[in-house]
Amino acid sequence: MSKIQEWARLLDTAAQARSAVPQIDPQGRLSLDDAYAVQAASIACRLARDERRVGVKMGFTSRAKMVQMGISDVIWGRLTSAMQCEEGAPVPFARFVHPRVEPELAFVLKKDLAGDATAVEALAAVEAIAPALEIIDSRYRDFKFSLPDVVADNASSSGFVLGPWCDPRQDFGNLGLVLSIDGQVRQVGSTAAILGHPIRSLVAAARLSAAAGEPLRAGWVVMAGGATPAEWIRPGQHVAVEMERLGSAAFHVGG
Ligand code: OOG
Ligand code: MG
């Protein structure tokens, strides 16, 4: 078995067993191409079970997230059907190793998007936008990783919760948002934190996925990236994001 396959299995097994593993590349020496090859191979393991590919997530598209995790490159990961958590429903804590949550904006596409799509073309391909929460969960011990580590680990993708789908023909470039846990405000921010405007995250998603030979497809969801630092979550909590004009998305952390 190649080293790429071996690491992919290691990370996939860690995700299934909900147990942390040591970093595969603590010094950050692995090339990004190899790291994305590990990611692709680990997703292939999920697809070989009964999961379906449903979209893309972007990472480190805000300064807040870059500063929190000490990484300053935009990365992307692959979303599968098993990662979607029902809005308003309990999400079992036992599914995760050491989960965190962050407020995001989600897109759903009505058209395929080429890698060279402009912001205007990207917007024209958007069916709807929604307030969303991402549950990230690194498979690495202590939630610590180098850039190639986190790329290989599918950008810490673990779960996502989508709020109501809204008309994208409105200005969503600077919408206020509040992340609360058990009714207490934990983070306050704006969609403008996402690359200045979340549409830029969709343009980057189109470019990066097409370069990987998997151009964005109609029906896919694209998570634009956390607008604020992420917060740890614990069993019993109620987590919600409230976004100006778009409404809210929430879930309970089950046992
Ligand atoms: C990596 C994933 C980053 C985001 O929205 O910036 C990310 C991590 O922080 O573990 O999902
Ligand atoms: Mg995220």
Query: Which residue among 102, 137, 154, 222 is best mutated to probe the pocket of ligand 1, counting the most ligand atoms within 8 A of its Cβ?
Result: 102
CATH topology of domain 3-254: Fumarylacetoacetate hydrolase; domain 2 (3.90.850)
- pLDDT by residue (tens digit) across 18-73? 999 999 999 999 999 999 999 999 999 999 999 999 999 999 999 999 999 999 99
Judge whether 210 and 216 are in contact, CB under 8 Å.
yes
Q: How do beta strands 53-59 and 221-223 pair? A: parallel
pLDDT at residue 230, rounded to an integer: 98
Atom 10 of ligand 1: nearest residue by CA position: 156
Query: Does pLDDT of 1 surpass 90?
Result: no
CA of 20 to the centre of ligand 1 (A): 17
DSSP-derived secondary structure letter, 153: T
Residue located via tokens 């634009």: 224
Q: Which atom of ligand 1 is nearest to the CA of 62?
A: 6
Q: How do beta strands 238-243 and 176-181 pair? A: antiparallel
Q: Which residues contact 225 (CB under 8 A, 6 or more apart)?
A: 57, 58, 59, 60, 61, 62, 65, 74, 104, 194, 195, 201
- pLDDT by residue (tens digit) across 146-160? 999 999 999 999 999
pLDDT at residue 243, rounded to an integer: 98
Pocket of ligand 1 (CB under 6 A): 59-61, 65, 69, 102, 134, 136, 138, 150, 155-156, 225-226
Domain ranges of the chain: 3-254
- pLDDT by residue (tens digit) across 85-124? 999 999 999 999 999 999 999 999 999 999 999 999 999 9
Q: Which residues contact 165 (CB under 8 A, 6 or more apart)?
A: 108, 127, 128, 129, 130
CA-CA distance, 43 to 51, in Å (whole number)?
A: 9
Q: Which atom of ligand 1 is nearest to the CA of 223?
A: 5
